[in-house]
Amino acid sequence: MEKRKYGRKLVACILVAVMLCGCADGMGKKGTENEEGSIEAGGEAQKGEEQESVEEPPAEPLVFEGQDMDGNAVTSDIFSQSKLTMINVWATYCNPCLREMPDLGGLAGEYDTADFQLIGIVSDVQENGSEDKLEKAVSLVEKTGADYPHLLLNESLYSALVVNVSGVPTTFFVDENGVVLGAVAGSYEKSVWKEIIDGLLEEL
């Protein structure tokens, strides 16, 4: 019940923030500039029709094993490092994803890591997959200043979380126990994300 309560509060925060900032329409996507992608069962994001919904987030704590773009092992134990974790699922071909990444990079450095951390999941770059795709992702992260960990997609991450994603960008908020508090489809301005983050931190 607590998770559902947080989920409702998250949605309320989003609606209030979007109305106040006037920077997004619909589910918070920036105008008609979306180049969304759908996640297929095979685990990679493919270009598809615009999405405006997120499947019901998992009720149980997330458990996964994976690695970041530098080959470092990362597990779901990472959630215990911060009260709130923001997980941004993106793709190298997704323009709305790339446009918001400089803002996300800024957010990652504005909070005490004991309170908040940000993690990216590159939905179209597989762990132990194409080196060319990996190099492209690394280059985009450097160009956008998205200086926070980015995980490569594998079966563990897909089953734990990405299976719930129908389009990119999609963002999840997770507490220190690995429980998903809510999910948001689409890209937002930095001020909107900050209002959502601050609102959730007040509740944790």
CATH of the domain at 134: 3.40.30.10
Cα 111 to Cα 78, 107, 114: the distances in Å are 16, 7, 8
Asked whether residue 83 carries a pLDDT value surpassing 60, the answer given is yes
Q: Is residue 117 in a domain?
A: yes
Q: Is residue 4 in a domain?
A: no
Cβ atoms 118, 88 nearer than 8 A: yes
Q: Is residue 14 in a domain?
A: no
Q: Is residue 26 in a domain?
A: no
**In which domain, by residue range, is 178 found?**
32-187
Q: Residue 164 has what pLDDT?
A: 86
Total-model pTM: 0.79
Q: Is residue 97 in a domain?
A: yes
How many domains are there within the chain? 1
pLDDT in tens, 192-204: 999 999 999 998 8
- Adjacency order of strands within the sheet including 150-153: 150-153, 116-126, 84-90, 170-175, 180-185
d(CA 50, CA 68): 28
Residues paired with residue 25 on neighbouring β-strands, in sequence order: 29
Mean pLDDT confidence for 132-161: 97
Q: Is residue 146 in a domain?
A: yes
* The residue type at 161: L
Mean pLDDT confidence for 102-115: 97
Q: Is residue 24 in a domain?
A: no
Cβ atoms 81, 117 nearer than 8 A: yes
Q: Is residue 197 in a domain?
A: no
Q: Residue 35 has what pLDDT?
A: 41
Q: Residue 48 has what pLDDT?
A: 33
